[in-house]
A and B are shown apart, each in its own frame.
Chain A
Amino acid sequence: MGSPSVRELIDSHYESLYRYAVRLSGSSADAEDLTQETFGKALTRIAQLRDADRAKPWLFRILRNEYLHRKRDDRRAKVVPLDSVGEPPEVPVDGGFEIDPQELQAALTELDETFRTPLILFYFEDFSYRDIADQMELPIGTVMSRLARAKAYLRAKLFRTPDASTNGRRPTEGD
């Protein structure tokens, strides 16, 4: 199967990419820029895309690299030891509970990018552990470990009970 055109890639993936960019950067303005930059880069590298079925992870990888490039000098992330993240609280499984997307974004933004990215990609459904590991150029075991800890953190933040209010400390890459 030949390489698709960038216009076809836009039609197929621009919404997913934009959502990923929003969750990654926490800003809709930055997300638009990142999405546009991603397709600009794709235009110059389209010949590198051998398998059209791999277009989505390819584009996501470009976007993440662009994001990391922009954030390279921004090393102000707060550091929280991973071992401080407790067990996720048990959530009543009666269905019907909702999460405020903005509250979710606030929790994501607090996370170090190395934990945020696998978390976002995991919930974007299409990405397997293997895909995430490829995206981040990490061993799959490392991805699973980070994902488990990030999910525990997220659940603690989003499903906080009065007793669990001290659980939500952010994991960081050094943990």
Chain B
Amino acid sequence: MNCHLSRLLLTFRPDELAGDDRAALSAHLQTCPTCSAAAKNGAATDAAIRTAMLAVPVPDGLKAKLHSAVSATQSASRWRKARRVASVALAASALIVAVGFGWWFFSRPSLSSDEMIVLLDQQQLMKEQAVGDWLVSEKLPAELPELPGRFEYGYYAFHGTQPLKGMKVPSVVFHNGQHQCRVYIIREHMVQTPEGGWKDVFGSEFNIKVIKKDGVVYVIAYTSPTLDPFLQPARPVA
């Protein structure tokens, strides 16, 4: 081993050298006073630097302070974890409520305007049917006459019998919010046919229209100028 290699190996710690290198270096140092002095010099300076390097006073209480800081961090961590769990639970609850609400919201029956109109028509038909059934029970034709349109049962108010000249006269009443229309249905042979035209009845003006059909007299008293408001549009003629 030459001195150059010896100086290179001296930069290593002995325990970091391979066995052969360590033995060769040791043999060289025994025969080379220059390298031997360098080795001792290096070891001495390293020892001095190491001693100074480690000469750092550790503050009293540092250990307790570190333990305390770790405890505080662990507590905060546990609190954060608990809060996170609570947040997740809250979020899950909110999600369940939201899903439930969404399910309820979107599962509500939907109504279309067509269906509502059909329903309304059905109700009117039922009213007309009820009036017809009642007229039949009074042994009268089931349908009111067409003038030329059919009566608009959307304005139907009520029906019943009214005492008149010792008789019980069946009548059907319509009201459109502004005017009323009363239809009295009487067997023709039971009365003398009244006259039509405008009449003042206890301060109210009524227009009287009389129709005879199939042995029945229909006396229609209405307050509107014409009967049109209470009639459906006339059926198209085939």
Contacts and interface: CB of A to CB of B under 8 A. Distances in A.
Interface of A: 6-7, 10-11, 14-15, 18-19, 22-23, 28, 32, 35-36, 39-40, 43-44, 88, 90-91, 93, 95, 97-101, 104, 120, 123-125, 128-129, 144, 147-148, 154-155, 158-159
Given A39-B70, A98-B51, A123 B46 contact: yes
B49 A36 contact: no
Give chain A's interface secondary structure class. Answer: helix
B26 interface: no
Which of A91, A93, A158 has the most CB atoms of chain B within a 10 A radius of its CB?
A93
Contact of A123 (B12, B53, B59, B65): B53
Interface stretch (B37-45, B102-110, B119-127, B161-169): B37-45
Given A10-B67, A10-B70, A148-B11, A19 B58 contact: yes
B190 interface: no
Given A99-B48, A124-B53, 13 more contacts: A10-B66, A18-B58, A18-B62, A19-B54, A36-B66, A40-B69, A40-B70, A91-B44, A101-B53, A120-B53, A128-B16, A129-B16, A158-B48
B37 A124 contact: no
A170 to B, nearest CB: 16
B45 A155 contact: yes
A6 B70 contact: yes
Contacts of A147: 11
B101 to A, nearest CB: 39
Contacts of A39: 66, 69-70
B52 interface: yes
B139 interface: no
Interface in B60-84: 62-63, 65-67, 69-70, 73-74, 77
Interface size class for chain B?
20 to 34
B53 A7 contact: no
B53 A104 contact: yes
Nearest to B72: A40
Contacts of B13: 128
B50 interface: yes
B56 interface: yes
Contacts of A154: 49
B41 A93 contact: yes
B55 interface: yes
Interface of B: 11-13, 16, 37-38, 40-41, 44-46, 48-56, 58-59, 62-63, 65-67, 69-70, 73-74, 77
Contacts of A14: 58, 62-63, 66
Contacts of A7: 67, 70
Given A10-B70, A159-B45, A104 B52 contact: yes
A144 B54 contact: no
A61 B58 CA distance: 20
A11 B48 CA distance: 27
B49 A104 contact: yes
25 contacts: A11-B63, A14-B62, A14-B63, A15-B58, A18-B62, A19-B58, A32-B62, A32-B65, A35-B62, A35-B66, A40-B70, A40-B73, A43-B74, A88-B45, A91-B44, A93-B44, A97-B48, A98-B51, A101-B53, A123-B49, A125-B50, A129-B16, A148-B11, A155-B45, A158-B45
A43 B73 contact: yes
Contacts of B44: 91, 93, 95, 97
A23 B46 CA distance: 16
Contacts of B56: 18-19, 22-23, 101
